[in-house]
A and B are shown apart, each in its own frame.
Chain A
Amino acid sequence: MQLFLFWCAALLMLVFGVAVILNRNPVASALSLVVSFLGLATLFMMLDAYFIGIIQVLVYAGAVMVLFLFIIMLLDLRAENLRKINWPATAGGAVVAFVFLIQVLSVIGRLTDAKKTFPPLARSTIDDVRNVGVTLFTNFNFPFQVIGVLVLVATIGVVVLSKRELANK
């Protein structure tokens, strides 16, 4: 049952991930991304990472994607015209991706740990959210602060790049 669910979620993710790229209509692309995120959330849930799964749905599929859709509709973006496909480049990219896939598969094939079944996780006495919070604010306090700066810089960047032209210059 679990394996079946895994394949369902993984396929869903991959198919809609490809659809994000192939769709020429930005709204369709954004909605495909939502479905892809739902598949990802399912995978997280199956790994017992409920909190991350829920965040995936709430924040990514919910807030971020709705914002995307809002912006797409506000800007009134139209479907892109089909571009001429650059065949040599596409073929080259496909070859690189294929070689990379073979590489990953061969490494996994030789991985001894991959053949073992993992022992079931010990039931945590405290809930997920608390665990994540405690880890974030104690062990990973330092990277967490740097991420705070990162978000500040990103905010400044967005403001700068989307600001209307200054009139006084």
Chain B
Amino acid sequence: MSIWPPQLEIAVLVLGAVLLLIEMFFVSLDKRAIAYAAIASLATILVATWYLAPALPAQATGLWSFYTADPLAIFFKRFALVTTIIVLVMMLDYTRRSTSSFALGEFFALPIFTCAGLMYMASAIDFVSIFVSLELVTISFYVLVGFDRKDPASLEAGVKYLVLSALSTGFLVYGITWIFGVTGLTNLNQITAAFEKIDIDKNAATFGALLVLVALGFKIAAVPFQIWVPDVYQGAPTPVTALLSVGSKAAGFVVLIRVLRPFLMLPHMDRLLLIITILTLLYGNLAALPEGNLKRLLAYSSIAHAGYLLIGIVCLDGAAITFYLVAYLLMTLLSFAVLIIVAQQTGESISDFDGLATRSPFLAFAMLMAMISLAGVPFTAGFFGKFFIFASAIAQHQFALAFIGVVTVGCGFYYYLKVVRAMYWNSSDKIDNIHVSMLSRVTMTALIIAIVWLGIYPQPIFRALEPTRISVALRSTTTR
């Protein structure tokens, strides 16, 4: 049944609007109820994705030239929904003790709009719809990053994000203009067909593609465009950081997967991506080594993980990228969830985690699972993520990439296990139990189980993607 194809997004948008109206008209209502309602409704929509997903029509005309509902799109819609649900749980924790006078209703409602933007982005197959959905996501992030107005760090992060993000948007539009100027098209499938012709000006098209890559590099925090990451991640309210590091990055990679097919027909693109990948891997891992603040550490780690994901992009392995993103979602959100609760008790630096094992064994165990998965210890989702990425690198004879990847994983072990050491070996003078709410406990347990489960049995992710055959489709373009 399909009344109007983007019905899932519309459901999310209506939910956001209704929650805002409820918040406005029922003044005496406990604002937390809005978050609970949002979590429940988003979970319902998540279940509905299995039943309400629109079927692809035979011909891509009208709406369908902007929007697709292939399995990749549906998968990333679910990804966005899960991320938003977990972030809302974190927001509940974050605002529990927070002294600042937040406009709570909007704080809970804005991520829902971000989620709708991410869902639109997962389906976008036209530069126009990529651009508008990207802007929807970015503008809601402008507000969320600077939400804590009383905190100068949050304001600074908001301004930095606004200025740099606006600059990257400028690059995106300029790049799209060049590609449109060369081909007269904005639809990615038609552009792919147009690039196959010989009479296309390859120089100008490459220039346009390069500018689009700059903007996407900013979104996924790849190296020369990563300067904003540590400051913005540190200054933003922690749940927003989590949403930024998972949602924004995943959306950037979906768009990257989609534009890769036409872009790789252009000269020099593969070499350029290779250089960006190597730089990102080295910078993210090396800069994280001396870091003592956990939030900044996670920011550098997010750059490093963008590097591993880019290996997948260079090797054109859509399935490996998707699996890695899922693993990244699980472990990053888990570490942020623990960080929020611990930061309210003590602080954000690694030394604040001293003796967490005695203060709260559950939180320490959750953090342990997140950290060893981020580092890539076997029997965690993170291990299989890296395994598939490196396997495809070796299959594509990208030995240099695989080598640098393995070496940087070694760095990763050092800085992730630093946190584990603080929790289990260092003792703390503070012996106070940390209270963890039921909802967070359930969420974290689910995340831990998912990490272990995917670390032993990764097939479900591949099965969800099977009909797309994105990797096959991508490979066929390279052999051409």
Contacts and interface: CB of A to CB of B under 8 A. Distances in A.
Contacts of B131: 143
A111 B147 CA distance: 46
A122 interface: no
Contacts, number: 77
Contacts of B126: 143
Contact of B149 (A103, A142, A159, A161): A161
Contact of A103 (B129, B135, B207): B207
Contact of A142 (B66, B102, B109, B110): B66
A154 B132 CA distance: 13
A156 B13 CA distance: 13
B398 interface: no
Contact of A153 (B6, B66, B113, B128): B113
B201 interface: yes
B147 to A, nearest CB: 7
A112 B202 CA distance: 11
Given A142-B63, A142-B66, A146-B136, A156 B110 contact: yes
Nearest to A159: B106
B interface secondary structure, majority: helix
B201 A111 contact: yes
Interface in A24-72: none
Nearest to B66: A142
B143 interface: yes
A143 B203 contact: no
B133 interface: yes
A141 interface: yes
B301 to A, nearest CB: 27
Nearest to B107: A160
Interface in A80-128: 103-104, 107, 110-113
A142 B140 contact: no
B132 A107 contact: no
Contacts of B142: 157
A96 to B, nearest CB: 10
A149 B128 contact: no
Contact of B132 (A150, A157, A161): A150
Contacts of A161: 143, 146-147, 149
A147 interface: yes
Nearest to A140: B128
Contacts of B135: 150
A166 interface: yes
Contacts of B442: none
A interface secondary structure, majority: helix
Contacts of A103: 207
B101 interface: yes
B207 A107 contact: yes
A130 interface: no
Contacts of A141: 63
B204 A143 contact: no
Nearest to A162: B149
Interface in B217-260: none
B120 interface: yes
A157 B139 contact: yes
Contacts of B110: 153, 156-157, 160
Given A150-B132, A156-B106, A113 B201 contact: yes
Contacts of A112: 201
Contacts of B116: 149
**Which of B20, B117, B136 has the most C-beta atoms of chain A within 10 angstroms of its own C-beta?**
B136
A166 B129 contact: no
Nearest to B121: A146
A110 B102 CA distance: 55
Given A107-B203, A143-B66, A153 B136 contact: yes
B113 A149 contact: yes
B67 interface: yes
Contacts of B20: 156
A165 interface: yes
A136 to B, nearest CB: 11
B103 interface: yes
B136 A142 contact: no
Nearest to B201: A111
B100 to A, nearest CB: 8
Nearest to B116: A149
A112 B181 CA distance: 12
A146 B204 CA distance: 29
Nearest to B199: A112
Contacts of A154: 139
Given A111-B201, A142-B67, A150 B136 contact: yes
A152 B109 CA distance: 12
A157 B117 CA distance: 15
B86 to A, nearest CB: 21
Contacts of A146: 120, 129, 132-133, 136
B140 A153 contact: yes
Contacts of B101: 165-166, 169
A44 to B, nearest CB: 15
B151 to A, nearest CB: 13
Contacts of A160: 103, 106, 110, 143, 147
Contacts of B6: 142
A107 B209 CA distance: 13
Contacts of A113: 201
**Which of B129, B146, B207 has the most C-beta atoms of chain A within 10 angstroms of its own C-beta?**
B207
Shortest Cβ-Cβ A-B pairs, 4 listed: A157-B143, A169-B101, A146-B132, A160-B106
19 contacts: A111-B203, A111-B204, A140-B128, A142-B67, A143-B126, A143-B129, A147-B132, A149-B117, A150-B132, A152-B17, A153-B139, A153-B143, A156-B109, A160-B103, A160-B147, A161-B143, A161-B146, A166-B101, A169-B102
Interface of B: 6, 13, 17, 20, 63, 66-67, 101-103, 106, 109-110, 113, 116-117, 120, 126, 128-129, 131-133, 135-136, 139-140, 142-143, 146-147, 149, 201, 203-204, 207
